[in-house]
Structure 1
């Protein structure tokens, strides 16, 4: 049975559960895994957040839950139609399509949450269900050839902006590659700097421009190249708590997506910098930490994903110096410095 048939059958099973209860003269109910904070657990062995074993029960016998079940059934039926026809829809499109349904959503956030309820209930990703986010995936530049439907694309020949990761990245096949590692950078400014300075050749690397917080498709791409192609993944972000967080979501996933972290997290990925130590060692231009930065750093220090001694040291050091730095701050020493000096030194330390 192919993935499409599996998805359709799982979606149909939601309605069959309700029908079976009706035939038994029982009040129809659906079990939905709890996504409350008390049911989100950091798994030390897997090195990412997972859902615990608690479930909620949505019953048509509870007046307050009738609309919730109706919303889930409508969304499931919409997704079943998408998958059967080989189509996709953005979350925004689904929200507007729902305007013609006999159930209502207060706003798009409410319909998004129902989509997440559906994926956690069925044990499938929203992308499997045909639902796509609005944001693009990252840009990839380097010598890798992928096949998307019947088209082969080499990311080294797709223009200076590279190949844009598809939201349906699981349907993409890796045909060939000639690289030894992957370097993901937070900003497109750094992505283009690395392309211009021939970093893909100097380091035998794929360059991935994250565009800020990495989209789900980007995280899935990084996990796939790490596991399927055995390529080490390195992350270079701004030297501030937000850059730390962007890196950690790639490495250990997020609490919000605990139900799909097994498909998104890349626990063996490594954070190159910019670290607090880099700020000191390279005498980088800085900005003072704001109150919100300090608060966020203190939150990170208590987060189980940052228990590692190296992370704790960098967080404490940043709090001590009271400064942060952008990844472009290496330009103080010339545009080429980050590729000619910083990255070679850091990669040598880490490899």
Structure 2
């Protein structure tokens, strides 16, 4: 994510401060001119994302919505935005950071009760609004999520910036079985060396542990990234950097259900919620390994029946522009036909080594990675 800067030597922190101050100044100028202050934002809905042919990701379209002070509700939203901008500018000035959860609680101390947040969803959404308006990421605001716990394991040497200075870490030799924990802002990492042939981004912790225990990362020179369910932004950013900067192919390995397909979509195409960051977070070249609906049939995997919510989600994905490809339409329709879903761990029905000795090598060979 980038924006124009007034000075080629302007630091990331200085640019973030400037952009925030300019937002507040724009609201002030509207008031000073006798206008009712307002801001305009893209409508964050599935119907307002479109495919960017240049960057091959899904971004927001032209539909917008306004936040205006012409109503009490709108005025409160703008008031909260101004208070939050002041907090963020002060935080950057002091070189401090805070979590999204802390911001919600910090608002309890603001002198104007109308500026306090009703719940964390409200404060989270405001931070997203400020990202869009300022063209600066929340990481550059020094806003952190709660710890995601996502990790990476494999043949990668990095240089990490810490409060105690720089340190070099090999993500296989210098870490325990848990791997290297991905930092909140992976742009602070420098890639020094690697022997990786591909990234394998894995949904569940159980499967990630199975792959590490079986030595899959060593045998196949794989960088195993634990997505930990719906992946955090830091995880998606690191995955994109590994692909773009080191030219390492990215594959995604999830459960075989509609919610897991959305995990893949957030890695490859970007999420609807953060479509303004798709160029920064999404890896369009990422390939889905499975579990595929056709795997459920071919391997006769243990299954659960699709729930009504699963069926509705699959039907919704058929209308989702991110899934409108021949491959996904074929797989989703097959799953609706068989009425079943299956977990990654169901592959263990053929033994604990089946996933590393048979399933993944076969799939990776079919896809040209082995």
Q: TM-score, normalised by structure 2?
A: 0.90
Deviations 1:213-263 (A, max 9, x none): 111111111111111111100011111111211111111111111111221
Q: Distance in 2 between matches of 1:272 and 1:235?
A: 6
Give 1:317's match in structure 2, choosing from 313, 334, 338: 334
Structure 1 stretches lacking a partner, 5+ long: none
- Is 1:29 the counterpart of 2:37 in the alignment? yes
The residue number in structure 1 matching 2:118 is 106
Q: Distance in 2 between matches of 1:148 and 1:130?
A: 17
Q: TM-score, normalised by structure 1?
A: 0.94
Give 2:27's match in structure 1, choosing from 7, 14, 18: 18
**Matched residue of 1:206: which SS?**
strand
RMSD (CA atoms): 1.8
Structure 1 residue ranges (4+ consecutive) displaced by more than 6 angstroms after TM superposition: none
Deviations 1:69-105 (A, max 9, x none): 1111111111112222222111110111111112221
Structure 2 stretches lacking a partner, 5+ long: 1-9
Q: Distance in 2 between matches of 1:136 and 1:75?
A: 24
Q: Distance in 2 between matches of 1:20 and 1:14?
A: 10
Q: Distance in 1 between matches of 2:31 and 2:291?
A: 59
Q: Distance in 2 between matches of 1:299 and 1:21?
A: 41
Contact 1:17 1:30 in 2 (8 A): no
The residue number in structure 2 matching 1:340 is 357
Deviations 1:166-212 (A, max 9, x none): 11112222222111110011111111111111111221110011111
Give 2:129's match in structure 1, choosing from 95, 117, 141: 117
The residue number in structure 1 matching 2:308 is 291
- Is 1:85 the counterpart of 2:94 in the alignment? yes
Superposed displacement of residue 34, structure 1: 2.5
Moved more, 106-115 or 88-97: 106-115
Q: Distance in 2 between matches of 1:56 and 1:303?
A: 21
Distance 1:313 1:27, change over 3 A: same
Distance 1:226 1:82, change over 3 A: same
Deviations 1:15-46 (A, max 9, x none): 222343455x3336243323343872221524
Contact 2:254 2:261 in 1 (8 A): yes
**Matched residue of 2:209: which SS?**
helix
Contact 1:135 1:215 in 2 (8 A): no
The residue number in structure 2 matching 1:43 is 51
**Matched residue of 2:184: which SS?**
coil
Give 1:52's match in structure 2, choosing from 54, 61, 80: 61
Moved more, 255-264 or 80-89: 80-89
Superposition map of 1:1-351 within 5 A: 1-23=10-32, 25-27=33-35, 29-37=37-45, 40-43=48-51, 45=53, 46-60=55-69, 62-101=71-110, 102=112, 103-149=115-161, 150-156=166-172, 157-351=174-368
Superposed displacement of residue 112, structure 1: 1.4
**Matched residue of 1:167: which SS?**
coil
Superposed displacement of residue 55, structure 1: 4.3
Contact 1:41 1:51 in 2 (8 A): yes
Moved more, 156-165 or 40-49: 40-49
Q: Distance in 2 between matches of 1:270 and 1:286?
A: 24
Moved more, 51-60 or 217-226: 51-60
Q: Distance in 2 between matches of 1:62 and 1:242?
A: 38
Distance 1:242 1:71, change over 3 A: same
Q: Distance in 2 between matches of 1:57 and 1:320?
A: 43
How many pairs align? 350
